[in-house]
Amino acid sequence: MTHPVVVIGAGPGAADLMTVRGARRLGEADVVLFDALTDPALRRHAPAARWVDVGKRGFSAQPGRHGAPACDASGQARINALLVKLAQQGLRVVRLKGGDPSVFGRLEEELQALAEAGLQAEVVPGVTAALAAAAATQRPLTRRGSGRSVSLTTAMTRSGALHASRGADTEVFYMAGRQLAALARRLREAGWPDDTPASVVSRAGWPDQLASDHRVATLAQASVLHAGRPTVVIVGVGAAALPRAPRRGASKATAAAAPEPVPSP
């Protein structure tokens, strides 16, 4: 007898950002294949399970087949094979992914491998890094009347190419920490004005998360602060700061000051 493989979104950081359903399914696991950026505290939900680290940490500088960069850690093909092998042994298998499995999680490849082996799957959604970054900075990605669309883009590709567009009111770039200067250039080429707000958040959802405010023209300045940390960049309407409650002793005029609205594409 085989059981459905359960793919769980662990959320962007701290263990308590996982959904209730995700925690319940995790507690039923015999074996857990987990990503590099999942919180070790999640182990308390399945202390008797076997935990297997299959985390991939981007792409290395060593080229793989056809000149494409090779994965630093476990290859996707190995992960697919492990999922199938363990499930066929009758084990209750959980694939634990950071963020949401459906957002830059290569979920389609794992579901396809399971389907080709005649195995069922269940997907439990999680909080993706873009939402955690918006919550950390208290800057909604959509705004009534000005921010009607959001685009999610990965800044890291197998070919090493970096693409930026201006197709949405708010653009969110994942895995952008190593390419902030290049991203700024691409944004300007795509038509974003130099003074467009840009919010940079690293390790969103973790206790040590960092956030900094920039403009497209000064985005590269965030490289030092966020170096070596998983980073999300929000550009456009959703990066603009909202008015904050006045601090004690501050004038109402100062507290109510807000940035100029960002023009829609």
Tokens of 138: 């208290």
d(CA 55, CA 95): 11
Contact call for residues 264 and 237 (beta carbons, < 8 A)? yes
Active site residue 53: no
| Secondary structure of 94-146 as H, E, C letters | EEEECECCCCCCCHHHHHHHHHHCCCCEEEECCCCHHHHHHHHHCCCCCECCC
As a whole number of angstroms, the longest Cα–Cα distance in the chain is 69
Active site residue 35: yes
> Which phi and psi (to 5°) does residue 61 adopt?
-80, -15
Q: Give me the DSSP letters along 187-223.
A: HHHTT--TT-EEEEEESTTSTT-EEEEEEGGGGGGGG
Which residue among the candidates 18, 39, 156, 175 is catalytic per the annotation?
175
Which residue among the candidates 18, 35, 100, 156 is catalytic per the annotation?
35
What is residue 40's DSSP assignment?
Answer: G
Active site residue 1: no
Q: Give me the DSSP letters along 225-239.
A: TTTTS-EEEEEEGGG
Which residue among the candidates 30, 56, 72, 213 is catalytic per the annotation?
56
Q: What is the torsion angle, in degrees rounded to the nearest 10, for the CA atoms of residue 264, residue 176, residue 173 and residue 15?
A: -130
Residue 114, classified by CB atoms within 10 Å of its CB into exposed (0-12), middle (13-18) or buried (19+), is buried
- The catalytic residues are 35, 56, 175
